[in-house]
Structure 1
Amino acid sequence: MDCCTPSNNVGVSKSECPSCGNKGKNVQLITLKSLLKALALETIKPDNSYEFCSNSACTTVYFNGNHSQTFAEDDLKVPVYQKNPSMDVPVCYCFDWTRERLMKAAGTAQQPADQIKAHVQAGRCGCEVNNPQGACCLGNVNAFARDLNKG
């Protein structure tokens, strides 16, 4: 089983982000342990559940269910695709497909989503420890490609 199988993808929680009110998406504790900087990692409460806020206008990346703790992008070792519009931010964290790289591949024979799928099928992805949302990035890659094709 790999990180992109449906049983490992995390769903929407019932908790709302304390900063913006959007519904969060559950993330595994391993995601926070892998991506938080040391000072932030020292404050997590392993018995709590954490959610990811995907709202691009919100500064909160992770929050716990009782809203007593939040983490912002500055607390993470990596930039967050949903929060950071920079061209060098990964859309696919496992295989380093940045916005810029995806744009360069647009209109060429290179099909990033197909390449990523092949890596996933070969058991090479590690989304739960590489991607701040803690889930498969293919949806983000496909949405970004669709937006490129519209523009």
Structure 2
Amino acid sequence: MLYSFSVTKEEQGCCTPQPKGKAACPECGEKAKGVLGKTVRHLLKDEAKSKLSYFDGFYYCKTTTCKVVYFRGDEILTQKDMRVVVGLKEGAKPATVCYCFEWSKEKIKAELEATGKTTALEDIKAKMENPGCSCEVLNPSGGCCLGDVSKAIKELELLG
């Protein structure tokens, strides 16, 4: 699935440091990392954005079984508020692991089944150089996807 969003020059790249600190998710209790306001602003549906006066201060819950995507105090945002499917959440289809270059668990699995290997990491690393990535605004975590892609490959190879 192709996600076509316009990304401004200042939003491009994944080099801006993520906010410091962690907070416990109000739903699952797991520690969540802070996420940049521009990430939240870019990925929320217009209806969800209209209910917020600002976008900074949110945390991203990466617990796969938790319904919460972002939270700030008593404000909770879930998949229904998102413009993209949050691929790391349980039952996500497609289970996207790289939002910049369209790698999903399904695509990796198909490549593994067809060829016995995957070029996902090599492809992503090459494309990070040219044309460049926009992880800060395309990835719900607001960070680089390489760790998530590596984890997905290992899981799929074990299932193989």
The number of residues matched between the two structures is 147
Contact 2:22 2:31 in 1 (8 A): yes
Gaps of at least 5 residues in structure 2 are 1-11
Give aligned-pair identity as a percent.
Answer: 32
CA distance in 2, matches of 1:136, 1:47: 20
Q: Which amino acid aligns with 1:115?
A: D
Q: Which amino acid aligns with 1:76?
A: M
CA-to-partner distance for each residue in 1:11-35, whole Å, 9 max, x for gaps?
A: 6733111111111111111111111
CA distance in 1, matches of 2:63, 2:118: 30
Which is worse superposed, 116-125 or 16-25? 116-125
CA RMSD of aligned residues (A): 2.2
CA distance in 1, matches of 2:17, 2:135: 10
The answer for the alignment partner of 1:104 in structure 2 is 110
Give the secondary structure class of the aligned counterpart of 2:83. Answer: coil
The answer for the alignment partner of 1:43 in structure 2 is 51
Question: 68, 78, 82: which is aligned to 1:76?
Answer: 82
Deviation at 1:9, TM superposition (A): 5.2
1:133-148 equivalent positions in 2, closer than 5 A: 133-148=141-156
Deviation at 1:108, TM superposition (A): 4.5
The answer for the alignment partner of 1:17 in structure 2 is 25
TM-score for the superposition, normalised by structure 1:
0.86
> How has the CA–CA distance of structure 1 residues 9 and 135 changed in structure 2, closer, same or farther, with 3 Å as cutoff?
farther
Give the secondary structure class of the aligned counterpart of 2:125. Answer: helix
Which is worse superposed, 115-124 or 105-114? 105-114
> How has the CA–CA distance of structure 1 residues 104 and 47 changed in structure 2, closer, same or farther, with 3 Å as cutoff?
closer
Give the secondary structure class of the aligned counterpart of 2:142. Answer: coil
> How has the CA–CA distance of structure 1 residues 47 and 59 changed in structure 2, closer, same or farther, with 3 Å as cutoff?
closer
Gaps of at least 5 residues in structure 1 are none
Contact 1:9 1:136 in 2 (8 A): no
TM-score for the superposition, normalised by structure 2:
0.81
Give the secondary structure class of the aligned counterpart of 1:149. Answer: helix
